[in-house]
A = this chain, B = another copy of it.
Amino acid sequence: MRRPATLDYNFNVPKTSPQDLLQEFQPIFYPKSIAVVGASHNVFKSGYHWFKSVVDAGFGGPIYPVNPHGGELLGYKVFPNLRSIPGEVDYVIVSIPRENVPELLDDAAAKKVKAIHFFTAGFSEAGDALGLELEGVLIKKTREGGFRVIGPNCIGAFSVEARLPYGPAGRRHQPGSVSFISQSGGVGEKLGELAVARGINFNKGVSFGNGVDLDGPDFLEYFAVDPKTSIIGAYFEGTRNGRRLMKAIKEAARAKPLVIWKAGRTDVGAAAAMSHTGSIASSPAIWSTIIRQSGAIEVHNVDELADMLLIFQLLPQPKSKLQGNGIAVVGGLSDGGGGISVSASDACAEAGLNIPPLTKETKQKLTNLIGHVGSILRNPVDLSQSGSNPDIIRQAAEIVLADPNIDLLIVQEDVGVLLKYLPIELARTLNNVFIELKARQYKPLVLVLPHGTNEMERLELERELAQASIPVFPSMERAAKAIRNFSQYWQRRPSAGS
């Protein structure tokens, strides 16, 4: 739904000083109190789940359920409206029919709340006359009300440390330093699921839907200066204010790794975006150019986004710009190393990674260690002839890592193939070889654990590696692409370490 030109969204002047920005977003990401408007006993209503989610997350400050029916909910006194709440209210979560939003806005202004998140949908994105009218009312009353608005039509703010959950069915997250911005609530949700599965630790997140007040650039500007955020992931479908977003992308990418998934790249995708969040998408080529020139990393789907957040979280910033170019690959821990050497070479070379030859000294050491007929003692290194001996595999990895041409080691550990030949105990021992290696030396390790028939064991080993801060990817192609993007970010960055 194309937004009517009569609606004026740009009523808030962007903050310029980091202090102002941090202060402005404090009540959103670190609220002292939360009200849930639409909190209900009815388990078929979102309001029930929203309130329960906030309670279950263990939010520390006062929580106020709001519902005209009053009474009690999960042991909390229910207030008939915002005005009747005795204490101050920082953050309001709204899950009520759209028709009731104007009155809620008046109450919020009277109560002097700091920020409101509208889970409620049915505004400009709905495409009907009432939706458009209500979006106009929302804008007008927000302009006059003295509060900030997230949404409507979104999941809103998420803060692991503040115990503000992501949505009415929040997951438990380990606190970390990755923050995300998602125009789509569903994408944020899927990203949260992948984070839990793969060991990405969030600090904050937000889905902003129609973004009638706070929009993509606002959150990007905030995360760029937020001291708790060191990596930013973003999903955008479009923006009202391309110039400001461009500037925000540039500044954020200069401050910290920024990974952007721009959806609605194709005509059909752009049309879907317009129905979804009312976004008018610009040409994909323009976006790609802006992203590349800013030094940010562009990805094309949620898996690639998760890949990049994981690798930025786990690998240290390269010490110099020359580093990160020499990649070694080790495969065939039990069998099948020859084909892996060939296909891993292709995957790495096609991603633009450099697989340098090993030095004569390294080759000699490997030959002394596993120089049987049939071993491929070149880079990629085929360990099929090591007999899956953990000690030999450890030594081989150490020899390769000590090579002066090598900056990073990728290990292909195919759990399904391993378990065809070895008991799970030995597979665990092999997995621990890399965990111990990671703890002892400074060159980064990346593991590839392809999917197959032994998914439970694969998950167990992946979790062990993730807990040891080793990034795990499900294919050589995805690992290679992530490493290439990771290297490029640090190489292109105006001044590394600044």
| Interfacial residues, chain A to chain B (CB-CB below 8 A) | 98, 121-122, 125-126, 128, 131, 153, 169, 171, 182-187, 189-190, 193-194, 196-197, 235, 237, 263-269, 271-273, 275-277, 300-303, 332, 335-350, 355, 373-374, 376, 378, 380, 382, 384, 414, 416-417, 420-421, 450-453, 455-456, 459, 474-477
Contacts and interface: CB of A to CB of B under 8 A. Distances in A.
B190 A414 contact: yes
**Total identical chains:** 2
A181 to B, nearest CB: 13
B417 A380 contact: no
A146 B169 CA distance: 70
Nearest to A387: B44
Contacts of A453: 171, 193, 196-197
A335 B382 CA distance: 45
B275 A339 contact: no
Contact of A345 (B169, B268, B348): B268
Contacts of A339: 182-187, 190, 235, 237, 263, 276
A341 B185 contact: no
A300 B336 contact: no
A331 B346 CA distance: 34
Nearest to A127: B373
Majority secondary structure, A binding face: helix
B263 A122 contact: no
Given A336-B184, A339-B186, A355 B268 contact: yes
A387 to B, nearest CB: 8
A187 B346 CA distance: 14
A334 to B, nearest CB: 10
Contact of A272 (B276, B345, B417, B474): B345
Contacts of A475: 301, 303
23 contacts: A122-B373, A126-B374, A171-B453, A187-B336, A187-B339, A189-B335, A190-B336, A193-B420, A194-B452, A197-B452, A197-B453, A264-B342, A264-B345, A266-B345, A268-B349, A269-B346, A269-B349, A271-B345, A277-B338, A301-B476, A302-B343, A455-B459, A456-B456
Contacts of A185: 335-336, 338-339
Among the interface residues A355, A384, A456, which one has the most CB atoms of the partner chain B within 10 A?
A355
The list of the 10 closest CB pairs from A to B, nearest first, reads A186-B336, A184-B339, A266-B349, A269-B345, A276-B338, A122-B373, A269-B346, A187-B339, A186-B339, A268-B345
A441 B150 CA distance: 44
A416 B193 contact: yes
Nearest to A123: B373
B300 A263 contact: no
A346 B266 contact: yes
A395 B380 CA distance: 52
A350 B452 contact: no
Given A121-B373, A128-B373, A452-B193, A301 B477 contact: yes
A196 B337 CA distance: 21
